[in-house]
Amino acid sequence: MIKQAISRKRAKPSFSYVRDSICEGGVMLLTICSSLVVIFIFGFILIKAWQVLKVNGLDFIITKGFDTQITKAYHADAAHPYWKFGAAGLIMGSMATTVGALVIALPLGLGTAIVITELAPNWIKKLLQSVVRLLASIPSIIYGLIGLLVIVPFITKNLITVEMQVKYIKYFQIDGKSLLAGILVLSIMIVPIIINLSVDAINAVPKKYKEASMALGISHWRTIVKVIIPAAKSGILAGIILAVGRAIGEAVALSMVGGGIGNIPDPSNGFVFFLTPVLTLASAIVNKSEAMSVPTINSALFACGVALLISCVTLSVFTKVIEYIIARREGIG
C-alpha cells in the first residue's frame, strides 16, 4: 500500500513542481533569446562595418583625420569611392572625456554616498536622495543644453584669451566647446549612477561589521574607510562600470559641448590640452549620420560602433580581472 501511494505521488507531480518547472523553463528561454539578440546585434554591426575594417585594418584605430575623410568620402565619385578612414582621434576623445569625467565623478559620487548612508541626519538623507533621483532622470539633451548655455560661455569668458586663440588658430579654433566642457558635463551625468549604486552597496553591508568595529574603539570615520567601503567594494565597482559605460556611449550631450572635431589633445600644450575641441565615437555616429546614404560613410560609422562595442566588452573583461585579483589577494591574506 505504501509503495502504491508513493508511486501515485510520483506519477502526479504537484502544482508547485509544475509551476516551478514552467518558471524555470521561461527564464531559460528568455535568457537564450536575450543572448541571441546580443549576438545578432554584434553580428549585424560587424557585417555593416566589415568593408571599412577590411580595407583599413589596424590603421582604422591608429590613424586620425576622420572629419576630413568623411568629407572626402561624401564628395567622392560613385565610381571611385573613398574607403580610407582613421578613428584614432575619436577613440582618444572618448577615452579623455571618460577618464576625466570619472576622475571628478568618482570621489564626488562616493563621498556623497558616504554622507547619505553614514553621516547625514534623516531629513538630509531624504533630501539628497531625492536630488540624486532627479539628476538621474534628467535626459541627456538637457545636460547638453546646460553645458552649451552655462559651461561653454563660462569657459570662453574666464579661461580663454585672445592671445591663446591667435596662437592655436592654425591647429583648431578655441571657442569654449572643448574637452573640458565635455568632461564637466559628463561628470555631472554619471555622478547619480555612482551615488545610487554605492548607496545600495553600503546599505547592504551587514550592520554587525560596523558594530564590531565600533566596539573595538575604532572611530566612525576609520570604520567607514577600513571596514564598510572594502565590504561594499563589489557594488561600488559595479556603479563605476555602469558609469563608465554611460560615459563611453554618451552622444547627444558631448556632440553639443565637445567641439565636434576629431582632434587628439596634446599634453605638451599645457592647459590648452583641456580646451582642445574633441569628438567621441558616439558623437561621431550622431553628427555624421546625415551622410549615411553614402555606403563608405555608412560602413565607417558602423565601424565606430564596433569600436564602441569592443570598448564596452574590454571594460567588462578588465573589471572581471580586477575582481578576480582582489578576491585572490583576500583569499591569500
Burial class from Cβ neighbours inside 10 Å (0-12, 13-18, 19+) for residue 187 reads buried
Predicted confidence band at 101 (pLDDT cuts at 50, 70, 90)?
A: very high
Quick one: 94 and 185 in the same domain?
A: yes
Predicted confidence band at 12 (pLDDT cuts at 50, 70, 90)?
A: low
Quick one: 164 and 39 in the same domain?
A: no
Please report the pLDDT score of residue 107 as a whole number. Answer: 93
Burial class from Cβ neighbours inside 10 Å (0-12, 13-18, 19+) for residue 264 reads middle
Domain assignment present for residue 327? The answer is: no
Q: State pLDDT tens for residues 113-171.
A: 999 988 888 888 888 888 888 888 888 899 999 999 999 999 999 998 888 888 888 88
Burial class from Cβ neighbours inside 10 Å (0-12, 13-18, 19+) for residue 83 reads middle
Please report the pLDDT score of residue 133 as a whole number. Answer: 85
The length of the chain is: 333
In angstroms, the CA 93 to CA 99 distance is: 10
Domain assignment present for residue 69? The answer is: no
pLDDT over 70 (residue 11): no
CATH of the domain at 183: 1.10.3720.10
Please report the pLDDT score of residue 75 as a whole number. Answer: 87
Domain assignment present for residue 215? The answer is: yes
Q: State pLDDT tens for residues 254-311.
A: 999 988 888 888 888 888 899 999 999 899 888 888 888 888 999 999 999 998 888 8
Please report the pLDDT score of residue 183 as a whole number. Answer: 94
pLDDT over 50 (residue 333): no
Predicted confidence band at 10 (pLDDT cuts at 50, 70, 90)?
A: low
Quick one: 11 and 113 in the same domain?
A: no
Predicted confidence band at 322 (pLDDT cuts at 50, 70, 90)?
A: confident
Q: Establish how many alpha carbons lie within 13 A of residue 143's alpha carbon, considering only the half-sphere containing its beta carbon.
A: 26
Q: State pLDDT tens for residues 63-84.
A: 888 888 888 888 888 788 888 9
Quick one: 113 and 15 in the same domain?
A: no
Predicted confidence band at 332 (pLDDT cuts at 50, 70, 90)?
A: very low
pLDDT over 60 (residue 1): no
Last residue of a domain, one of 57, 78, 97: 57
Q: State pLDDT tens for residues 29-48.
A: 888 998 899 889 889 999 99
Quick one: 39 and 149 in the same domain?
A: no
Predicted confidence band at 20 (pLDDT cuts at 50, 70, 90)?
A: confident
Domain assignment present for residue 120? The answer is: yes
Quick one: 48 and 95 in the same domain?
A: no
Predicted confidence band at 189 (pLDDT cuts at 50, 70, 90)?
A: very high
pLDDT over 90 (residue 103): yes
Mean pLDDT of the 210-223 span = 86
Q: How many helices (H) and strands (E) does the chain have?
A: 18, 0
Quick one: 168 and 119 in the same domain?
A: yes
Quick one: 250 and 199 in the same domain?
A: yes
Mean pLDDT lowest among 56-60, 123-127, 324-328: 324-328
Query: What residues make up the domain containing 270?
Result: 88-287
Quick one: 162 and 235 in the same domain?
A: yes
Residue 329 DSSP SS3: helix
Rg (alpha carbons) of the chain, rounded to whole number: 26
Quick one: 105 and 34 in the same domain?
A: no
How many structural domains are present in the chain? 2
Residue whose cell numbers read 574603539:
217
Residue 283 · residue 258 · CB < 8 Å: yes
3-state helix/strand/coil string of 288-304: CHHHCCCHHHHHHHHHH
- Cell representation of residue 191: 555622478
